[in-house]
Amino acid sequence: MEIRKISDNVWEIPREGEMKVPAVIYASARLLEAVKRDMTLMQARNVACLPGILRKSYTMPDAHQGYGFPIGGVAAFDLDEGIISPGGVGYDINCGVRLLGSNFTEKDIEGKRRELLAEIFKEVPAGVGKGGVTKLNRNVLKDILAEGASWAVGNGYGTPEDLERTEEQGRMRDADASGVSERALERGIPQLGTLGAGNHFLEIQKVTDIFDRETAETFGVHSKGQILVMIHCGSRGLGHQVATDYIEMMTDKCGIQGLPDRELVNAPFRSPLGQRYYRAMCAAVNYAFANRQMIAHWVREVFARVLGTSEGMRQVYDVCHNVAKVETHVIDGEERRVCIHRKGATRSFGPGRREIPAAYRDVGQPVIIPGSMGTASFLLAGTPGAEDLSFSSTAHGAGRVMSRHEAMRRFRGEKIRDDLSRQGVELKFTSWRGVAEEAAAAYKDVDEVVRVSHEIGLSRLVAKVAPVGVMKG
Amino acid sequence: MEKYHILEHTADGKFQAFGATLEEAFGNAALAVASLMWDWRKVEANISYPVGVEGHDLKQLLVRFLGEIIFLFETKSFILGSIEELKISARTGRLGLRARFLGDSVSDRYELHGGVKAVTYHDMKIEKKAGRGYVIQAVVDM
């Protein structure tokens, strides 16, 4: 496969064979070496062959191989000629990140850190097979699928301002729960309000660097040492089941002939099945928004109990990084509605977009990029330039470079905990093996991912944070 | 014969399962999936669930069969220890699988060490090797 260097951080696989458009890879030379070792580039090329794809098949700096589409893949499709694909969204629909601000400093929580984390660990169910504390019936679940985070706010979890500061205001209005199977509902009922396991986490963080003071202040980040809380999780078993169900249905209805990978299965966006998937996916997106809304509320309750107040714990923002949406983008100078897939990629709208909360409209959308366990995370802002570069998309995290199996063999959970403890990071978890699997060394260097995203202009750096307390599922 | 072998995969769980017969390979694939979440060897056979799935082809049959392990775990807190009476049949272009899952409920006695959330078609292979029986390869989302 030919890979052409366009500039220092931009590479292109030129159009050839079945490709309808070229594939563009945003990566430093070092990050490119990592993606060459797995199937990422072939997967980006495969996406470029799908019907109705517009402009280019994009790959973000944190890309690694996924199923069908690469993780870190961005592709927009024409609404009439194009497709929608569960493999372009990912199994964990609306896996995403929420960031809460606070008026607390590192000093304020000194001596209370362990207690805070222990209390959060009690309030927020986490780990494999861990059920929620919320009693749900099928009808309530259907309301949640229709209303997302606004259901949660309506039921006492958080404030209306949280909704303003959430992508899609915490609710995709195209959701239709009737396309969500019984199996998916059954998996969703016990898991609402739970963090889950795998790479999902909840962190108490402190601000270590501010790169753009004005934007940071607009986002509610005002000083070094300020305490923030980051929540990373998704739609749990419900979202996975929606993906599984529609991959099956599309395989049956649309076939897999000519697809190099069965996970690329898709349906025309306008077809009944394409629309059914889109609406069921929106319902799963809403479940995940409600999930993070509830967890954020419990975190505030713990802070209020332990520190006397949770005032000032305003939400910075909540982003989804596994999703398909209908958005307006400029293609060849013309505004068009397209179906954009972001799989392991974060929306990065620049200033002026009406989808951004009014308070942020002058500076661009907050972009939250979590690091791996125990490493830094970043707050960035969307850029005007990202529109042309990537349909306003940027990286979503560090991206794995090592298998869970290898990480488990190479690292010991106990050692990781001790190392983190020496760095001043408190760790609470449910499984030693889970800790080893999520070792920072199993991931790409998030600093490099963010630096490259910033240099290319996919998003711009605002602030850097470091964990002081980590809770792992 | 080795029942299964866990392989390297960047993000998730990948394995190969073996069997003299297709049925045996399917059963061992189920144990491979269980091994990514708990130690199935330690699970007592206190509960049983009948399992029945259908598929257009072997791959779909496998995805649906292994999906039952995840579904029973998440909705019934059931952890799989062994499989009995596994039968695969073909009838007018449709494949069917019936089996009995034996295992126990989640409790403090069992350590859970990973969550398998979906079975994918990615890099999936179901092959008959001359003289070596069947080899199944699959990747699961964790």
CB B114 within 8 A of CB B36: yes
Supply the pLDDT for residue A127: 77
pLDDT digits (tens, 9 = 90+) for A72-101: 999 999 999 999 999 999 999 999 999 999
pLDDT of B38 strictly over 90:
yes
Q: Which residues of A touch B118 (CB under 8 A)?
A: 91, 240-241, 243-244
Residues in CB range of A131: below 8 A, 6 or more apart = A125, A190, A191, A194, B77
Q: Cβ of B94: how many Cβ atoms within 10 Å? A: 13
Pairs of CB atoms within 8 A across A/B: 110
pLDDT of B69 strictly over 90:
yes
The catalytic site residues of A sit at 396
pLDDT digits (tens, 9 = 90+) for A399-432: 777 888 888 888 888 898 998 899 889 898 888 8
Instruction: Tell me whether B107 touches chain A (CB under 8 Å).
Output: no
Note whether A91 contacts B74, CB cutoff 8 Å: no
Contact map slice: A 190-249 vs B, CB within 8 A: 190-191, 196-198, 237, 240-241, 243-244, 247-248
Note whether A244 contacts B113, CB cutoff 8 Å: no
pLDDT of B11 strictly over 70:
no
Which single residue is written with the structure tokens 């029973």?
B72
Burial class for B66, CB neighbours closer than 10 Å (0-12, 13-18, 19+): buried
Nearest Cα residue to A223 out of A104, A125, A390: A104
Nearest Cα residue to A364 out of A388, A335, A385, A384: A384
DSSP character for B50? Answer: E
The dotted CATH code for B4-141 is 3.55.10.10
- For chain A, which residues make up each domain, given as ranges? 4-83+92-472
Nearest CB neighbour to A431, from listed B13, B56, B112: B112
Nearest Cα residue to B66 out of B105, B135, B106, B17: B17
The strand pairing partners of A446, in sequence order, are none
CA distance to partner chain A, nearest, from residue B45 (Å): 19
Q: Which residue of chain A is at minimal alpha-carbon distance from B115? A: A128
Supply the pLDDT for residue A85: 98
Q: Which residues of A touch B139 (CB under 8 A)?
A: 67
CB A60 within 8 A of CB A26: yes
Supply the pLDDT for residue B113: 83
Per residue of chain A (473 residues), what is the pLDDT tens digit? 899 999 999 999 999 999 999 999 999 999 999 889 889 999 999 999 999 999 999 999 999 989 999 999 999 999 999 999 999 999 999 999 999 999 999 999 999 999 999 999 999 988 776 777 667 889 999 999 999 999 999 999 999 999 999 999 999 999 999 999 999 999 999 999 888 887 889 999 999 999 999 999 999 999 999 999 999 999 999 999 999 999 999 999 998 888 989 999 999 999 999 999 999 999 999 999 999 999 999 999 999 999 999 999 999 999 999 999 999 999 999 999 999 999 999 999 999 999 999 999 999 999 999 998 888 999 999 999 999 999 999 999 987 778 888 888 888 888 989 988 998 898 988 888 888 888 888 888 899 999 999 999 999 999 999 999 999 87
CA–CA–CA angle A235, A264, A200 (5° rounding): 25
Q: Which residues of A touch B142 (CB under 8 A)?
A: 198, 404
Supply the pLDDT for residue A429: 86
Note whether A403 contacts B113, CB cutoff 8 Å: no
Note whether A237 contacts B12, CB cutoff 8 Å: no
| Options 3.90.1860.10, 1.20.1560.10, 3.20.20.140, 3.30.300.90; CATH of A4-83+92-472 | 3.90.1860.10
Nearest CB neighbour to A129, from listed B112, B119, B121: B112
ipTM: 0.93
What gap in Å lies between CA A41 and CA A171, rounded to an integer?
33
On average, the pLDDT of chain B sits at 93
Mean pLDDT of B27-45: 97
Nearest Cα residue to B80 out of B101, B97, B53: B101
Instruction: Tell me whether B119 touches chain A (CB under 8 Å).
Output: yes
Strand order in the sheet with B47-55: B47-55, B94-105, B78-91
Q: Which residues of A touch B37 (CB under 8 A)?
A: 128
Q: Which residues of B touch A89 (CB under 8 A)?
A: none
Supply the pLDDT for residue A443: 85
**First CA to last CA distance, chain B:** 27
Which pTM value belongs to this model? 0.96
Supply the pLDDT for residue B102: 98
Instruction: Return the HEC string of chain A.
Output: CCCEEEECCEEEECCCCCCCCCEEEECCHHHHHHHHCCCHHHHHHHHCCCCCECCCEEEEEEEECCCCCCEEEEEEEECCCCEECHHHCCCCCCCEEEEECCCCEHHHHCCCHHHHHHHHHHHCCCCCCCCCCCCCCHHHHHHHHHHCHHHHHHCCCCCHHHHHCCHHHHCCCCCCHHHCCHHHHHHHHHHCCCCCCCCCEEEEEEEEEECCHHHHHHCCCCCCCEEEEEEEECCHHHHHHHHHHHHHHHHHHHCCCCCCCHHHCCEECCCHHHHHHHHHHHHHHHHHHHHHHHHHHHHHHHHHHHHCCCCCCCEEEEEECEEEEEEEEEECCEEEEEEEEEECCEECECCCCCCCCHHHCCCCCEEEECCCCCCCEEEEEEECCHHHHHCCEECCCCCECCCHHHHHHHCCHHHHHHHHHHCCCEEECCCHHHHHHCCHHHECCHHHHHHHHHHHCCEEEEEEEEEEEEEEC
